[in-house]
Amino acid sequence: MSRRGVTIALSLSALVILLFVGRWGAALFADRWWAELVSPEASRFVMDWNLLRFTLEAGGVLIACAWFIGHLLIVFRAIGSVQVPRQLANLEIREALNTRVLIFGGVASGALLGFIVGRGLSDWTATLALAWTGVRYGETEPLLGHDLGLYLAQLPLWRSLHGHALLLVLLGLGGVLTLYIVIGAVRWTDSHLALNSHARVHLGMLLAALALCLVWGYLLEPYELVSGIGGGTQLGLFNYQRITTQILAGVALMTAALSLVWAWRANHVLMAAGWGVLITVSLVGHHVFPALLAGARPSPVDQMDRRRLEALAYGLTGLRDSTSDRPDAAPRLPNPPTLWSASIVTRLPASDSGEVLGADRAVLPVLRRPRPVWLIVRGAGEQGSSITAIADDQTSDDGKPLYYPGGDSIPSTQPATRLRLSRSAVWPGAPNVVLDTASAGVRVGGALRRVVLAWALQSSSLLGKVETDARARWYLTPAARLDRLAPFASWSVAVPRIVNGSLVWISDGYIASQTFPIASRVHWRGQRIGTLRADFVGVIEAESGETHIYLRHTADKVAEAWLDIAGGVVLPANSIPPEIGRVVPYPAELLQVQGRVMEGQDWGIGRMVARPDSMGGGNPVPESVWEPDTSGLQSLVVFESEGERAVASLLQARMVDGWESLKLVRFDSSSTLPSPQMLESRWGRFPTYEQIRDSVLGAGGQLQAAPVRYWLGPAGLGAYQPHVAWNSGETPALVWVSIASQGRGGAGHDLFEAWQNMFGITAPLVAAAGHANRLEEARRLMAAADSALKRGDMAAFGRAFDALRRILNAKENRQQF
């Protein structure tokens, strides 16, 4: 290659490096300026985190480049003694290669390959930081007797280093062997292998390095088996596999020595025999004997140890286990009830027609009284976003939804907005960058600062005409904000809450690991994990963007290590304000995973109803019911008996003063109810329900059922299921509720009517009955009330009188369905 060509190539390479380094440097300064607005501690931590990421990324690329370039240059040293055969007509000639071109090409190829292979080490940032700090868990596993912290902090780093080293050696060996074959240093001649001495030494060193990597891997296998990665502990073969890995490590070490001997003495048979023995022993030890011995030995870990470790891994240490009996207390309606579901409220009409960005149940303070509502977040484009509050425990007389308008304590049937957020607030659909003159942003400043910000944020608006006192805001979605401040945690979708009249976003920060010893494995967010803990809670004030990350009260030792590493970004659990602690929900994804784990045979509580195959992300959250005092929600996971189609147990999850509380209630055949599928089948056979459904479908609408909801009251287990009618051009309405309790079933146009029907006090009116059935029902109720009064049964008189009053006050528009 000519001098000009070399200059052009070097210039292009320098330009590429400058672009990467420049973009990284711009992002570093932009993140630092942004984090300074959060707190000085956040600025230091974000800066240190980004520097560590860059060091790992650059170090990985440099090491890989040096590795591949070095080996390629070693290969090209053999070119001086090896010529490439060329065919010219009928003559074969040998042509010496241009070493200068080859060396330059080797350096360029090695650099390119090193850049490709070496990238990605920045993903080790959290692993390296945790391993460097160390974790002392205070609990040991029963197989090797090591502290659990070794598996959660050190083992992931050991595995990452081993995997990367093995990758470099394999790619180096494969690339070097290919080049030696191309240049003729390795060839097949006269039915035998012919190697150039230079090539043999080089390949022998790489084979020895490969064997040493295998030794490293075999020594790690016992730890991987205990951590559940190898799966051996589940087969009762741990002791056998532990001995096998020691034997394999010895054989691999011997093979490394034989490879070095071959490199200097050219004993092909000895080298081939060593690698043949290693491969044979590895196949037999890893596959043949385990298949023959599987099931022949008991598990080395008893049930109590497995349950203890699973409780630590998935936050089940505070679980209370109880058995429900059949009490003699009088049954009560669920109060307040949960009448709507997410799939329904997100389709209700609203005053703003923007896209629904989020929906969750929450407590809304109205005249100092907690009201159970759904908070619906809708994007309003350039105007920001709006929040609608829909009553969850009540409807209008004709089953229509009720809205809580802004500044008004009386719910209305007209769609109304409760709160509005500006365009520069924090909300799920916020723009990437917002420029304004508010004091809460990063000062745009002069030309150089604007170029840095534009480069980092990839925003051309910063390069245009902006005001002299303009400020920029970014990371305006809850997920982006929390990921930047605490990238070591996996954050859930933020849910809205109203605190002191302002909207705040609350998100759960999860710590997951694949290497927790012994515990069951669960698929979560596309990965197979051995532990999941909701250790952090992120709180963001929507309008101002003020962000705080708190440690949960039930956080484990790993989270406490991150508390030290983060250096003030994460605050201790006792710093959570009381008004925030009261509205923090139970971590939904954690509850899903806990339910899946408790399906195992060690717990013996049945099979999870509506069991998702993989949890996390956008999967449905467990059903929830309101606490009787409307202080919050109680999430429920239902387990059914295998083959009996009945509820075997109920897992209740709730928050108590910021602490997670779990209670498992088991049911016997006398105190249980059928599974949701069985209840829906029975309720669907009610004649009146069939008429309601036919009436809705005949009018061109559809009838949508909410999930079956169980509640545990003074009289035991109960269940109900609301149904909503949709009709084109009309507001959806609650038209039917099915209910079951104490072995009885009932239905009605609302929950109270269904409750009365379950005890035989009323019969639900069908759509076509009109005034005649209403009058007949009123007469029957009057006779029942009169009879109860004569015999002195005031409770029965009260129920009949309440039902009579509801019949007489019912609105005609309910019958339109």
pLDDT score of 454 more than 50: yes
Q: CA–CA separation, 88 vs 76, rounded Å?
A: 25
pLDDT score recorded for residue 665? 93
Which three-class secondary structure state does DSSP give residue 328?
A: coil
For 103, half-sphere exposure in the C-beta direction (CA atoms, 13 angstrom radius) is 10
Which three-class secondary structure state does DSSP give residue 639?
A: strand
Start-end of H helices in 78-154: 99-118, 125-133, 148-149
pLDDT score of 817 more than 60: no
Residue 378 per-residue DSSP state: E
Residues 533-552: what's their mean pLDDT? 95
The highest-confidence range among 189-198, 222-231, 481-490, by mean pLDDT, is 481-490
Q: CA–CA separation, 154 vs 135, rounded Å?
A: 9
pLDDT score recorded for residue 532? 96
What six digits make up the tokens of 113? 């390959």
Measured over the CA atoms of residue 507, residue 513, residue 516 and residue 518, the dihedral's sign is positive
Look at phi and psi of residue 610 and say left if phi exceeds 0, alpha if psi is from -120 to 50, else beta.
Answer: left
pLDDT score recorded for residue 814? 32
Q: How confident is the model at residue 768 (pLDDT cuts 50, 70, 90)?
A: very low
Note the pTM of the prediction, 2 decimals: 0.87
pLDDT score of 95 more than 80: no
Q: CA–CA separation, 749 vs 199, rounded Å?
A: 86
CB 517 within 8 A of CB 148: yes
Mean pLDDT of the chain: 84
pLDDT score recorded for residue 565? 94
Residues 512-529: what's their mean pLDDT? 92
Share of the chain above pLDDT 90, in %: 44
pLDDT score of 757 more than 70: yes
**Phi and psi torsions of 119, nearest 5°:** -70, 155
Which three-class secondary structure state does DSSP give residue 158?
A: helix
**Phi and psi torsions of 419, nearest 5°:** -140, 155
Start-end of H helices in 759-816: 770-790, 794-809
pLDDT score recorded for residue 182? 81
Q: How confident is the model at residue 810 (pLDDT cuts 50, 70, 90)?
A: very low
pLDDT score of 614 more than 50: no
Cα dist from 470 to 363, 427, 466, whole Å: 38, 22, 6
Q: CA–CA separation, 448 vs 25, rounded Å?
A: 13
pLDDT score of 775 more than 70: no
Q: CA–CA separation, 718 vs 491, rounded Å?
A: 34
More confident residue, 248 or 765: 248
CB 38 within 8 A of CB 480: no
Lowest-confidence segment of 147-161, 183-197, 226-240, 521-535 by average pLDDT: 226-240
- Dmax over CA atoms of the chain, in Å, equals 125
Q: How confident is the model at residue 403 (pLDDT cuts 50, 70, 90)?
A: very high
Per the listing, tokens 């009885």 go with: 744
Q: How confident is the model at residue 777 (pLDDT cuts 50, 70, 90)?
A: low
What six digits make up the tokens of 357? 């960005």
Q: How confident is the model at residue 44 (pLDDT cuts 50, 70, 90)?
A: very high
Distance of CA 458 to the CA centre of its chain: 28
Please write the tens of the pLDDT for every residue from 13-23.
677 667 777 77
Cβ of 760: how many Cβ atoms within 10 Å? 10
Angle at 200 between CA 199 and CA 201, to 5 degrees: 95
pLDDT score recorded for residue 714? 82
Burial class (CB in 10 A: 0-12, 13-18, 19+), 332: middle
What six digits make up the tokens of 379? 């994007």
pLDDT score recorded for residue 480? 94
Q: Which helix (H) or strand (E) holds 361?
A: strand 356-366
pLDDT score recorded for residue 347? 84
Which three-class secondary structure state does DSSP give residue 753?
A: helix
pLDDT score of 259 more than 80: yes
Question: What 3 state SS string does 666-731 have?
Answer: ECCCCCCCECHHHHHHHHCCCHHHHHHHHHHHHCCCEEEECCCEEEEECCEEEEEEEEEEECCCCC
Per DSSP, what are the bridge partners of residue 548? 539
Please write the tens of the pLDDT for every residue from 200-252.
999 999 999 999 999 999 999 999 989 988 665 555 677 888 889 999 999 99
Distance of CA 610 to the CA centre of its chain: 18
The highest-confidence range among 283-287, 343-347, 716-720, 793-797, by mean pLDDT, is 716-720
Cα dist from 495 to 294, 360, 584, 659, 722, whole Å: 47, 6, 9, 18, 24
pLDDT score recorded for residue 82? 45
pLDDT score of 769 more than 80: no
For 249, half-sphere exposure in the C-beta direction (CA atoms, 13 angstrom radius) is 14
Q: Which residues contact 675 (CB under 8 A, 6 or more apart)?
A: 609, 638, 640, 645, 646, 647
pLDDT score recorded for residue 791? 76
Please write the tens of the pLDDT for every residue from 372-385.
999 999 987 777 88
Cβ of 587: how many Cβ atoms within 10 Å? 27
Q: How confident is the model at residue 102 (pLDDT cuts 50, 70, 90)?
A: low
Cβ of 121: how many Cβ atoms within 10 Å? 20
Per the listing, tokens 């050219």 go with: 266
Residues 285-295: what's their mean pLDDT? 76
Q: How confident is the model at residue 70 (pLDDT cuts 50, 70, 90)?
A: very high
What six digits make up the tokens of 426? 């924090």
Cβ of 76: how many Cβ atoms within 10 Å? 18
Residues 771-787: what's their mean pLDDT? 65
DSSP letters, 446-510, are SHHHHHHHHHHHT-GGGGS---TT-EEEE--SHHHHHHHH-TTSEEPPPEEEEETTEEEEEEEEE
pLDDT score of 620 more than 70: no
Please write the tens of the pLDDT for every residue from 678-703.
999 989 888 788 888 888 887 788 89
pLDDT score of 48 more than 70: yes
DSSP letters, 197-265, are HHHHHHHHHHHHHHHHHHHHHHHHHHHHHHTTSS-GGGGT-HHHHHHHHHHHHHHHHHHHHHHHHHHHH
Please write the tens of the pLDDT for every residue from 555-572.
999 999 999 999 889 999
pLDDT score recorded for residue 601? 80
Share of the chain above pLDDT 70, in %: 86
Residues found in the chain: 817
pLDDT score of 81 more than 70: no
Which three-class secondary structure state does DSSP give residue 344?
A: helix
Measured over the CA atoms of residue 760, residue 761, residue 767 and residue 770, the dihedral's sign is positive
Lowest-confidence segment of 111-115, 348-352, 653-657, 709-713 by average pLDDT: 348-352
Please write the tens of the pLDDT for every residue from 135-168.
999 999 998 999 999 999 999 999 999 999 999 9
